Amino acid sequence: MSFRATTKMEITTKPDFKQTFPKWPEASLKASVDKLDDNGIDLLESMLAYSPADRISAKRAIAHPYFDDLDKSHFPDRELSYYKSHIPEV
């Protein structure tokens, strides 16, 4: 699962964008959060997507591979079956 990055061009064309906004160089999330594995980085990037249309939903986030080794035995079965049946594979 991967997100579509919002480009600099897309952000600068937004109606509320101001040329006076501070500008920072692009930084590697992996270098900033070095304790996360690749799945963790993918999930975090998906959560931080600028555009809500590109941002991962909470339902999809809980089904993300990052949580595959989470002990779900204490979760109610009805919730797990709901997530598995209502979230399409991407």
What integer best gives the mean pLDDT of the chain?
80
Handedness of CA 19, 20, 24, 25 (dihedral sign): positive
Show the tokens assigned to 27.
């930084």
Q: Which domain range does residue 60 map to?
A: 8-86
Of 66 and 83, more confident = 66
- CATH number of residue 32's parent domain: 1.10.510.10
The pLDDT score that the predictor gives to residue 3 is 47
pLDDT tens digits along 16-53? 889 898 888 877 888 889 899 999 999 999 999 888 88
Task: Kindly state whether residue 51 falls inside one of the protein's structural domains.
Answer: yes
Handedness of CA 22, 28, 34, 38 (dihedral sign): positive
Nearest residue to 29 via CA among 21, 16, 40: 40
In total, how many domains does the chain have? 1
Cβ-based neighbours of 60, under 8 Å, separated by 6 or more: 1, 46, 87, 90
Task: Kindly state whether residue 78 falls inside one of the protein's structural domains.
Answer: yes
Task: Kindly state whether residue 3 falls inside one of the protein's structural domains.
Answer: no
Q: Tell me the mean pLDDT in the region 56-66.
A: 90
